[in-house]
Amino acid sequence: AASINHLQNKGQFNLVLVGTGTGSYWVAKYLSDHMQEVDDFGYAMISINGHENAIMQTERFSDYLSTLTIPILDLYLPKNKYESNQAKWRKGVMLAKQHTNYSQVKMHDSAFGVNSEHDLVTRRVWGWLKSNAAGQEAEVKVK
């Protein structure tokens, strides 16, 4: 919250929050808890290999995602059957909620190339940002 407030005080209102692993869970939880307080205009989220928080077993990552209306990119690398099933579950929840701004992309080990200047994951994120979170202009009103 402090980081978001700092950026907004500096005039930056187009924000993309990125989470990896359980960090994706916490980003989704934060946004779900706080999007009712502010207009979600200018926000987007990227989840990379997002998964449930083992400590908060009663609260599901997909439940928080499904409350959001902002553009969401869900990149995942299925390391095992459990992670593949979790990704399928998230996609199913988002389809059931008719979330039109949700994109899920299955990546493979080769996407994380070390020989290229920009690996496939980086290029995929850049392309998604350009199409879904390139920035929006709005009239700022002082309260």
Q: Does the predicted model carry a pTM greater than 0.75?
A: yes
Which helix (H) or strand (E) covers residue 66, if one does?
helix 61-66
Phi, psi of 113 (to 5 degrees): -75, 140
Mean pLDDT of 20-24: 90
Report which of residues 115 and 26 the model is more confident about: 26
**15 HSE (CA, 13 A, CB side):** 20
- Residue from 133, 124, 111, 50 nearest 86 by CA: 50
Closest CA to 23 of 50, 43, 5: 50
- Please tell me which residue, 44 or 11, carries the higher pLDDT value: 44
Residue 24 φ/ψ, nearest 5 degrees:
-65, -40
CA–CA dist 141, 143 (Å, integer): 6
Q: Give the number of C-alpha atoms closer than 13 A to the C-alpha of residue 36, restricted to the C-beta side.
A: 5
* Mean per-residue pLDDT of the chain: 83
Residue 42 has pLDDT above 60, yes or no: yes
Task: Give 111 or 125, the one with higher predicted confidence.
Answer: 125
Can you give the pLDDT at residue 119?
Answer: 76
Outline where DSSP puts E strands in 3-139.
Answer: 15-20, 43-48, 72-76, 102-106
Do 13 and 140 contact (CB within 8 A), yes or no? Answer: yes
Position 14 scores a pLDDT of: 86
HSE-CB at 39 with a 13 A cutoff on CA atoms is 9
Residue 143 has pLDDT above 90, yes or no: no
What is the mean pLDDT of the segment spanning 85-97?
A: 92
Interval 50-74: pLDDT, tens: 887 777 666 788 889 999 989 999 9
